[in-house]
Structure 1
Amino acid sequence: MIDFRSDTVTKPCKTMLQTMVEAEVGDDVYGDDPTVNQLEQFAAQRHGFEASVFVSSGTQANLLAILAHCERGDEYLCGQSAHNYRYEAGGAAVLGSVQPQPVENEPDGSLDLQKLAAYIKPDDFHFARTKLLSLENTIGGKVLSLDYLAQARAFCDQHKLQLHLDGARVYNAAVALEVDIRAIAQHFDSMTICLSKGLGAPIGSLLLGSKALISKARRLRKMLGGGMRQAGILAAAGMYALENNVERLREDHDNARYLAERLNELPGFDTSAYPVQTNLVYVDVANQVDIHKVAKDLIEQGIQITPGYQGMRLVTHLGVSHADIDRLIQALKSR
């Protein structure tokens, strides 16, 4: 099955699987899993943070970050399109009594800092206390520039806010910008990294921050039922992903651009409103195309997509090759 739905569908390669089988393990809740400890120490050092914690998912990593930065009755600023606002079941509000204050994202995915300033609450007991700004990079496949990140850091320093990055696809951003990951990470008080998207691990994310923040996050992880035991089997996959699967993200970006070009050959498909920067391709599908029927027909040919009309998303990843894209286009042409 060729799967264009998301880069979350990636599967471990044989070498990664063998690394998992051979992983030395222990009880991570006791701090005894050497492979988890190795991953957390490596990740903290690699990205320029004091500490990190390995967790089961990006949603949990973002939730731990927000709850570690904020107390009950506090507020965090974020984009209307932010994953931790729109797609994480309202966890910060439900589980932490932390109020999100969303602001409309700009066309390039950034947040207007002047607009953000107007949403910071006065120091008055009538209001929630604004404590945190959360950004996302990439967001909708768009890359936030290094200049913008520096401006956001200065903004947070000026307004005494903490700055968090939802970095689910932050390595896609670093590869697109052709910079070391630290050039992005240096601006943030905390950052998440999803290991199970383009990096190709089967499970897991990292939260990085100060020792104090990560210590608090560990307690919260336990409270949420996120304490894992012999988790080194999963951490080994994460280590392999960070050490071996970063540079190959360029191939995903190249394939995404190729996919967009080929889609534009088809009547009723148009990607021109969505310049491709990384591995996410968005396409407008004309109403006369029954895209839901097309999707069902594609499944019978071994191809999966998520059907839609305005801004339908297709994703390239290590499970999608140049030839797979040609196969999709041919299937769409012959519908």
Structure 2
Amino acid sequence: MAIRLLLFRGLSTYSRSSMGYLKEKVIYDMVSDTATKPTDEMFEIMKQASREDDVYHEDDSVVALERYVSELTGHEDGLFCASGTMTNQLCLRAHLTQPPHSVLLDARSHVYIHECGGLAYHSQANVTPVHAKNGIYMTAEEVANNIVGEDIHNSPTRVISIENTLNGLIMPIDEIAQISALARSRGIKMHVDGARLWNASQETGVSLKEYGQHFDSMSLCLSKGIGAPIGSILVGSRAFVAKCRHLRKLLGGGWRQAGSLAAVAHWCIENIMPSMPHTHQQAKRLAMSLEAFGCSLVYPCMTNQIWLDTTATGVSTKLLAEALAKHGIKISAGNGCTSRIVLHHQITDEAIDQFIATATALFKEYEGSKPLAITGSFNITAYATPSQ
């Protein structure tokens, strides 16, 4: 499938504030997989958790989660934190010890676009953004061509940061292995923003441990597809995690009685992660239906995200969002012609059926309409990747 780089205008495709007109009760939130709600069963798990102090590393539930995820990924230790932004920034700061230094990454990366300039603020790091020519992932060849060397005029590459999945797109394990081998031959650290690496693993069958062998550090979000109420975890060597723990305290991220949050995150990994393949199938079924209506996809649907472009249909994403809202389905109104739809474990098959039925009626009503006019443009690098 050909990938078209769309010049976005107006608003980001992820903008909850742009949906103020949606007053109907939301039953199915497809704006993001961060929208999952804790269940009664999760609250029962939280009640049973230990209640000690994680700043002193004394809480059994937190320690159990950190040990569990480090074993899943093949690393020595883990650190439970409040957010994916925190775990990404802690990892990168721990790797970047002395400027001048730089991080090589995909130009669409969350750590580059949506973490408030954290690389510059926390690590005084330059960034080398790579624009993937295939539109899906940066290749080992592109990485090799963009590594900054040791010339006295340069800010040398010290870390290569990969995001997988990125916009729902999977970077192949063979490509990761090639990049990792290249990095290690040059003494460069490897980091993965694995906020949705769980999805990549469940879709491809590649274990987290197999992914993990190629990275010096991993950041794994627990509050997206995994469905936990809050949290993210980083993993790495024991010495590396000890350094991150110290830096977490520096940033004000040390938390006291965090056991209840760790316990429910642990439960979610074991009980919700196995449902991801079904979520991916739902997304692919919905994407195929939308294409049949004349919509196009900005990116192919590989996991749980649909990047929808309704330009050719004459139906704006705002109209689609309004129609769906009447049936309790919430999507982003996007920028008028594009919208990101994200599925998760709390989206039922019946919700997908209702989405398709509502879209069928709407597109039939506007059949024969002129394509939407696109005026003005925004840089895709700045607007193509939602903040969560």
Mapped pair 1:282 → 2:307: yes
> Distance in 2 between the 1:87 and 1:312 partners?
18
Q: Does the 8 Å CA contact 1:270/1:285 hold for their aligned counterparts?
A: yes
Question: Which stretch shows the higher mean deviation, 307-316 or 251-260?
Answer: 307-316
- Percent identity between matched residues is 37
> Distance in 2 between the 1:46 and 1:297 partners?
43
Name the residue aligned to 1:262.
289
Name the residue aligned to 1:234.
261
Partner deviation per Cα, 1:103-151 (whole Å, 9 max, x = no partner): 1124353223333233322323322131000001111111111211110
Q: Does the 8 Å CA contact 2:317/2:338 hold for their aligned counterparts?
A: no
Q: Does the 8 Å CA contact 2:73/2:210 hold for their aligned counterparts?
A: no
Letter matched to residue 20 of structure 1: M
Question: Which stretch shows the higher mean deviation, 305-314 or 168-177?
Answer: 305-314
Q: The residue matched to 2:207 in structure 1 has which SS?
A: coil
> Distance in 2 between the 1:329 and 1:119 partners?
43
Question: How many Å apart are 1:269 and its aligned residue?
Answer: 2.1
Q: Does the 8 Å CA contact 1:3/1:9 hold for their aligned counterparts?
A: yes
Q: How many residues are aligned here? A: 333
Q: Does the 8 Å CA contact 1:108/1:144 hold for their aligned counterparts?
A: no
Distance 1:130 1:274, change over 3 A: closer
Mapped pair 1:295 → 2:321: yes
Q: The residue matched to 1:29 in structure 2 has which SS?
A: coil
Letter matched to residue 270 of structure 1: S
Tell me the TM-score normalised to structure 2 length.
Answer: 0.82
Q: Does the 8 Å CA contact 1:284/1:311 hold for their aligned counterparts?
A: yes
Q: The residue matched to 2:158 in structure 1 has which SS?
A: strand
Q: Indicate the RMSD between aligned Cα atoms, in angstroms.
A: 1.7
Name the residue aligned to 1:32.
58
Name the residue aligned to 2:380.
none
> Distance in 2 between the 1:108 and 1:332 partners?
28
Question: How many Å apart are 1:310 and its aligned residue?
Answer: 5.6
Distance 1:310 1:69, change over 3 A: farther
> Distance in 2 between the 1:227 and 1:118 partners?
39
Find the partner of 1:250 among 277, 294, 312: 277
Find the partner of 2:78 among 32, 49, 52: 52
Name the residue aligned to 1:43.
69
Q: Where in structure 2 are there 5+ consecutive unaligned residues? A: 1-26, 363-388
Question: How many Å apart are 1:163 and its aligned residue?
Answer: 0.5
Name the residue aligned to 1:321.
348
> Distance in 2 between the 1:237 and 1:186 partners?
27
Question: Which stretch shows the higher mean deviation, 252-261 or 124-133?
Answer: 124-133
Q: The residue matched to 1:100 in structure 2 has which SS?
A: strand
Matches within 5 A, 1:83-94: 83-94=110-121
Mapped pair 1:169 → 2:179: no
Distance 1:106 1:234, change over 3 A: farther
> Distance in 2 between the 1:104 and 1:114 partners?
12
Q: Where in structure 1 are there 5+ consecutive unaligned residues? A: none
Find the partner of 2:173 among 146, 153, 162: 146
> Distance in 1 between the 2:346 and 2:133 partners?
31
